[in-house]
Structure 1
Amino acid sequence: MIDHLGLAVSDLERSRSFYLAALGPIGATVQMQVSAQESGGHAHIGFGVAGKPSFWISDATPVSGPLHVAFAAPDRASVDAFYAAALAAGGRDNGAPGLRLHYHPNYYAAFVLDPDGNNVEAVCHHPV
C-alpha cells in the first residue's frame, strides 16, 4: 500500500552512514540521491532494492517528534544482523531481537533508535 516514506533528519551524512549500515543486512542500499540544487530546496537520499527507493531521508527541518518505521526482513538472521549493524553504526538499543508474541506467534523483531531518536525496526513474520 505504501509506495515510499520520507524522514527528515538533522544530519544527512550521519544518517546516510547509519542507514547504509543498518539496512544493509536486509538488502537495502542507496538507490537515488537528489541534491538541494536539483530539488530546489532540500537534499534527499533514497534507500531501497532493485532500483526502487522506498525509504527517503532528507535534510528538511523535522516537523514532528520521533517516528516509528519498520522494515521487512527476509528471515530472523537478517533481523539479528540489522540490530548488530545499527548498534555498530551508532544506533541505540530500543529492543533486542526476539519474538514479540503479543503481536503474533511469528513476530520476530529488533528495535533501535537512530541518530535523531526515531524508532527503527526490522521485522520478520515467518516461522523459523
Structure 2
Amino acid sequence: MIEHRHLRSICHASLGSDNLARAKAFYTPVLATLGISLVSEYDNAITYGKGYPEFWVQQAFDQKPASVGNGVHFGFVALSQQAVDDFYHQAIALGGRCNGAPGPRPAYGAPYYGCFIIDLDGHKIEASYWQQTEN
C-alpha cells in the first residue's frame, strides 16, 4: 500500500538508459544520500523510491536508443542542506557532471537550496531542500 497516496500528484517518473548496469552503479549510491533505495529490478528497468517505485530508469519501450529531452529534468527532495551536498558530491565522484553546484538560488525563493547534475546518460537531475521558517 502506498502511504499518503492522497498527498501525491505524480505516480512515478522515468528516464531512459541504454546501459542499466552503469545507471544502477550511479543511481543506487547517489539516491541513497536522500534516503531513496533500489526497490526492484527487471530485465529492462530498475526502480527507486521510498517503499514503492517512484523513479524508474529503463530501456526505451520502443526498443530504440534512449535520448535526452531538452527542458526536462527530475528534482529529488532532500531533507537537509547536507543531503543536497552529499547528493552532489556522490554524483560527481561517480562521473556525473556539474550543472549547478550546491547553494541557494534566490530566484527560486528564499528557502531554496539545491544542486544540479547531468547523469551518465545526459539527463538533468536535481536535489533541493526547502528550509521553511516558522512564523
* Structure 2 Cα separation of the partners of residues 18 and 115 of structure 1: 8
* Structure 2 Cα separation of the partners of residues 31 and 52 of structure 1: 6
* Structure 1 Cα separation of the partners of residues 68 and 80 of structure 2: 32
Q: How does 1:26-45 map to 2 (within 5 A)?
A: 26-35=34-43, 43-45=44-46
* Structure 2 Cα separation of the partners of residues 16 and 119 of structure 1: 16
2:105 maps to 100
Counterpart of 1:112 (choices 112, 117, 123) is 117
Q: How does 1:27-66 map to 2 (within 5 A)?
A: 27-35=35-43, 43-49=44-50, 51-60=51-60, 61-62=65-66, 65-66=69-70
1:4 maps to 12
* Aligned-partner residue type, residue 13 of structure 2: L
- TM-score, normalising length from structure 2? 0.83
What root-mean-square deviation, in Å, do the aligned CA atoms of Structure 1 and Structure 2 show? 1.5
Provide the secondary structure at the position in 2 that maps to 1:116: coil
Name structure 2 gaps, 5 residues minimum: 1-8
- TM-score, normalising length from structure 1? 0.87
* Structure 2 Cα separation of the partners of residues 85 and 127 of structure 1: 26
* Aligned-partner residue type, residue 55 of structure 1: F
Moved over 4 A (4+): none
Identity %: 37
Name structure 1 gaps, 5 residues minimum: 36-42
Provide the secondary structure at the position in 2 that maps to 1:21: helix
1:17 maps to 25
Q: CA deviation at 1:63?
A: 5.3
1:6-46: CA deviation from partner (whole Å, max 9, x where unpaired): 111121111111111211110111101122xxxxxxx1110
